[in-house]
Each structure stands twice: as structure tokens, then as C-alpha cells.
Structure 1
Amino acid sequence: MGRGGRGFIDNLAALPWPVGLCVGSVGYLAVAHGIPLLFARNSAMPGAFRDLNPFLPLAWVFLGLCMIAAGMSFFRARNTRRLLDTRTGLDSMAALGWRDFERLVGEAFRRRGYAVEETGLGGADGGIDLVLRREGRRILVQCKQWRRERVPVNVVREMYGLLAHHRADEVRIAALVGFTPDAARFAAGKPIALIDGPALLAMIRQEQRTGGAAKGVQARGEPAISAKGPKDSSAPTCPRCDTAMVRRSNRRTGETFWGCPAFPMCRGTRIF
């Protein structure tokens, strides 16, 4: 269901739980005291609002709804944290429902310092599932939990078309099984990061090891734990998928550079 079909509680519950409490408190004061004060100033009988406040029940109802939304947000955030902390491998990710898989991907990016919006536009068949924001950049994310099929090139083309339509900076597609060779070739050289199961698992394991500390580390672009190959404390993160990079060498020139361990699904590189 799209965001436009959500109710007030659902929209408020999608925000951090302190926001719900703040909205409820401000709304209660406005309805219980602000509106009666406004009416009293413009009424010929100001004492009537002092003796009987007809807006007080409405204020309590509004506060109660906001508290319900805040409670939903709190427990949802706690369950999402547990969702990431309890993943042990690709099989445990495959066992999730598609919506939990989206939340898992969102939590992995959230711990890396991104502001994550769950759009609700994707649904079970894909589309824009998440919108990431950090340092002025806006990134569209699609999550594919297909268990038997690799993501074909037409799906990548569709997401690339949404890049310009939504004026975003980059597209990222997380797919449990991976991508076809045609999809990888199409994404090469474009602002498209293809994140397969092993690369996603590497992100999750890194966040499990670092707890919440990785959020600040990734925001500064400092080194992380590599998904493949020996650990290197000096390794930067991939500019496309945020996975810790590994040392590689150009076979023709012998030049050393940093490469993404998810190659060829992700072709991010950095100069050594």
C-alpha cells in the first residue's frame, strides 16, 4: 500500500517514537488550552470556557492516539534491531518475509549513518522500497528477496529510469540470489550499486560486530570489516555499496587499487 493510503497513526508510527510523544504533547496543549483561549478572547462569555472545556476530551483522544503511534514505533524499531542482530547467514535472510527483508536492509543502512525512509511503494514485487539520505545525497533502494532467480536486466533498467524521475543521486538494488550477467553489464559505469547476498551479509555481520558504533564510523568514511579476503584496517569503504574494499591489482599494468569485494555485481573502485 502506498504512503497515501496510510492513516494518521501509521504515518506517525513510521517516525522515531520520540516524535510521536512530542506531537502528542504539543497537540494536547494546543487543543486543551490554545483553542479554548482563542475562543474565550472572541466570545461574549469568556467564563464559559473556564467552567467547561468542550475541547478537553478531544485533546485526550489526540494524545492517546499519538502515544499509541509512539508505542508502535518503539516496538517496531526494537524488533527491527533484533532482526539484524539475529541473522546468521544467507539461509536466515531467505527465511524472512519480503517486508522483513526490506526492514533488514533498511536497518543495515541506518546503522551506517543513513536516514532511512520506508516508502511502502515497492510491495512484494519491487519498486522503490527505501529512500536513503546522507550528506545531501538521495539514494533509491529496491529489495529483492527472490530465492531461486537472479535479478534480470529489465529490473535494473526500470530502477535506472526512476533515478532521473525522482531526481535521486544513485540507485541500489539488494538481491539475495544476485544478478544476471546482463544486469551487471548494464549497471557498469552507472550510478547503480548491485548488492548480492554475500555483500549484504558482509554489511550485516559488520554491524553485528560493531554494535551501533558503525553508524559514526561509516558516516566519516572510515575503514570497515572486509567481506572477503584478509582484514585490512586501512581499507576504505566502497563508494557505491559501502562494503569494505580489498586490495586488487591490474593484471596488465600491475597497478594496485582498492576494489569492491562484491565484484562483478558492484564495480566500485578507489585509487590506492
Structure 2
Amino acid sequence: MRYGLAWCMSTFGGPIGQALGLTLAEGAYAPVAWMLLGACWIAALVSFLDGRRRRRLLASQTGLGSLRAVDWRQFEMLVSEAFRRQGYTVRETGLDGSDGGIDLILQRDGATTLVQCKQWRSQLVDVRLVREMYGLLVHHQADAVKIVAIGNYTADARRFVHGKPIELICGDALLAMVRESQAAGTVSKQTRRRA
């Protein structure tokens, strides 16, 4: 920390950075190092608590009723955690509300999959949304699209996806995916306990 930060400051910081670099090289780096260490510990704690919250959310799902009871942010987090347990690397784009039509981006085996989550309880997902997702697939040059909904899809939407790399996940299939993820989490916990 002492020499690396001092070198960076004196090399890239201009006249002010050079002065700070000399100060750091003389030993004034300790407060900076402690602040950096504290920031890392805070980030680790936030990450741990977020992962724990996601695991509890996934574990608490018992059926379609409990899936319908969560808000849209929790629904996206739940779907994200289920895909993560299936071995995907997941990037969440929609939790701040401005997702551009893509809630999750999945990566696995070099393939990119775009995901849109719809927590609509009574409204059917129509062909318009499916067409939009197909347009995003082409635009982003992704390999596939998954649309995840608690409800169901219109007949037009089901016909549109025929022969395209689009998967419509609804109600019972979503519940099966959640239960499979719950079982995978239980198996990994038991494995860790034995080790």
C-alpha cells in the first residue's frame, strides 16, 4: 500500500499527486489503508447480508400464492437467485426500475440469455412483449431470451416463440424451477456440513 499508492500518485497525479505521493511514501499512508480496509469490510458485510436475504426469500416460497405475494423487486431477486443456483452468472439490471426491457442477463458456457420478469397476477403476457424481447435479443446479439411470469401467456405469444430461442416460463414451470433451486440449496448445505 505504502509504495504502490505513492507510486500511482506521483506518476499520474501531476504536481499535487507528486506531493501527496511523497507524503504517502514517508509513512502517512496508514489512515488511507485503514479507510480502504474498512470500505472492503463494509462491502463484504453488505454482500453477505444481501445473499442471506436472497436465500431466505427463495427458501420461504411454498407455492404460487407465496410467489404472488412478493413485490416486483423481490420477484426479480427470487428469479435471479433461482437462475444463480442453476449455474448461471447473473447480472441484475432491473432492480432500480429502469431496465430497458431486460431485468436479468444470464451467462453460462459462453452463452448470453436475456430475462424479463413479469409478476402480473391476472393479466396474460401478450405477443407485444414477446416481440419486444425478440427485438432486444437481436439488438444485443444474445443467444436466447427467457420471459418469466407468474401468470400465463396469450395464444399469440405462444405461437410467436415457435422456432425462436425464446422460452416462456409461467406458473407451474416457475414453481418447479423454484423448488428445484430450493432442493439444490439444501443439498449444498448438507454437503458443507459434512465437509
**What TM-score do the two structures reach when normalised by structure 1?**
0.60
Indicate how the Cα distance of structure 1 residues 204 and 37 shifts in structure 2: closer, same or farther if over 3 A, else same.
same
Name the structure 2 match of 1:34: 4
User: 5+ residue gaps in structure 1?
Assistant: 1-28, 215-272
Q: Hey, which of these two has a bigger chunk of helix by percent?
A: 2
Q: How big is each residue's C-alpha offset from its partner over 1:207-235, in whole Å with a ceiling of 9 and x where there is no partner?
A: 22333658xxxxxxxxxxxxxxxxxxxxx
Match status 1:209 vs 2:183 = yes
Letter in 2 for 1:59: A
Superposition CA RMSD, Å: 2.8
The separation in 1 between residues aligned to 2:38 and 2:180, in whole angstroms, is 39
Q: How big is each residue's C-alpha offset from its partner over 1:94-144, in whole Å with a ceiling of 9 and x where there is no partner?
A: 111101100111111111111111123783887101011111110000000
Name the structure 2 match of 1:130: 104
Aligned length: 181
SS across alignment from 2:86? coil
User: 5+ residue gaps in structure 2?
Assistant: 12-17, 189-195
Alignment of 1:16-165 (within 5 A): 29=1, 32-36=2-6, 52-53=27-28, 55-120=29-94, 123=97, 127-165=101-139
SS across alignment from 2:113? strand
Contact 2:134–2:145 (CA<8 Å) still a contact in 1? yes
The CA deviation at 1:65 is: 2.2
The CA deviation at 1:56 is: 3.2
SS across alignment from 2:53? helix
Indicate how the Cα distance of structure 1 residues 151 and 38 shifts in structure 2: closer, same or farther if over 3 A, else same.
closer
Match status 1:194 vs 2:168 = yes
- Identical aligned residues as a percent: 53
Contact 2:6–2:22 (CA<8 Å) still a contact in 1? no
Contact 1:120–1:129 (CA<8 Å) still a contact in 2? yes
The separation in 2 between residues aligned to 1:97 and 1:78, in whole angstroms, is 18
Q: How big is each residue's C-alpha offset from its partner over 1:19-46, in whole Å with a ceiling of 9 and x where there is no partner?
A: xxxxxxxxxx3xx4422366799x89x9
